[in-house]
Structure 1
Amino acid sequence: MLRYSDMVSNCLERVREIMPWDLVDRMKENPSLMILDVREPGEFEAMHIPGSLNVARGILESACEWDFEETVPDLVRAREREIVVVCRSGRRSVLAVDTMQQMGYADVVSLKTGLRGWNDYDEPFEDGSGVGVSPSVADSFFLSGVRPDQTSSHERS
């Protein structure tokens, strides 16, 4: 049986990652770079990198193809475009990049450390209305929210 962490580790054998400071450089060097945020819509609405596109991980495959209700035309047309996939921690994005590579996306990478790392690097966020998010709000948002009953140690007791 594979665990989530095993699945991510397996994908890392095939997926390239970049650090937040590399993404800052790529954004300057390539204005047509696509930032794809694969978090859930509520997470994206709370805060995201300005200019990023939200497609939740759960519908990614159908969003990347024509003829589905979830089809996102800009994403379907981006198979040859440089894409950086982001999520909260950098794990969902690794799975998403692996999937996208299998679907023929040529230049797609994952943001290592995710948006938590982007925040640690003091880069900007905006909310769903396009309003900047203060660093203190971002810091609170990215604190770990694992409850005691969600840990493996709870299961053993």
Structure 2
Amino acid sequence: MKTYETLVAEALTVVPEILPWDLQSRLEQAPAPLLLDVREPEEYAAMHIPGSLHAPRGILEAAAQWGFEETLPELVRARDSEVVVICRSGRRSALAGRTLVEMGFKQVQSLKMGVRGWNDDGGALEDADGNEVDPELADEYFRARVRPEQMGP
């Protein structure tokens, strides 16, 4: 049986990671990569990297292909362009990145440490209304909240 950690490790054999500070620098160059946030809608609405496109993992395959209600033309057109996949910590983005690679996307990377690492590095975050998110508020939002019953035997 594979674990979540095993699946992520396998995904990272085909999806390279980019560090938050390297992404900051990369965004200053043209053409900038497409930022694809694959977190859940409420996570994205609470805070996200400005300019990122949102496609939750649950609809990623349909969002990345023509002909579906979920199709995101910007994503489909980025098949040959640089795409940086983003999540909270860098795990879901690795799994989503692997899916995109399997779908034929050529230049996929996963943001190592996710938006949590982005915030720690001083990267800007905004909410659903485009308002800047205070970094300390983001720190609290990203704090792990694993309950005792979730720790297992």
TM-score normalized with structure 1 length = 0.94
Do residues 139 (structure 1) and 139 (structure 2) align? Answer: yes
Q: Report the Cα distance in structure 2 between the residues aligned to 1:75 and 1:140, rounded to whole angstroms.
A: 31
Q: Report the Cα distance in structure 1 between the residues aligned to 2:36 and 2:13, rounded to whole angstroms.
A: 21
Q: Report the Cα distance in structure 2 between the residues aligned to 1:115 and 1:63, rounded to whole angstroms.
A: 21
CA apart distance, 1:10: 1.0
4+ aligned runs moved over 6 Å, structure 1: none
Residue 45 of structure 2: aligned partner: 45
Superposition pairs of residues 1-150 of structure 1, within 5 angstroms? 1-150=1-150
Q: Report the Cα distance in structure 2 between the residues aligned to 1:70 and 1:81, rounded to whole angstroms.
A: 20
In the alignment, residue 26 of structure 2 is paired with which amino acid? R
Contact 2:20 2:121 (8 Å CA) reproduced:
yes
Using the TM superposition, name which of 29-38 and 54-63 deviates more.
29-38
Contact 2:26 2:32 (8 Å CA) reproduced:
no
Aligned partner of residue 88 in structure 1, secondary structure: coil
Q: CA RMSD in A?
A: 0.9
Percent identity between the two aligned chains:
54
Aligned partner of residue 85 in structure 1, secondary structure: strand
TM-score normalized with structure 2 length = 0.96
What is the CA deviation profile of residues 72-118 of structure 1, one whole-angstrom value per residue up to 9, with x for unaligned ones? 11111110111111100000000011110111111110001111111
Using the TM superposition, name which of 104-113 and 28-37 deviates more.
28-37
CA apart distance, 1:122: 1.3
What is the CA deviation profile of residues 42-90 of structure 1, one whole-angstrom value per residue up to 9, with x for unaligned ones? 0000000000011001110111111112111111111011111110000
CA apart distance, 1:40: 0.5
In the alignment, residue 115 of structure 1 is paired with which amino acid? V
CA apart distance, 1:30: 2.7
CA apart distance, 1:124: 0.8
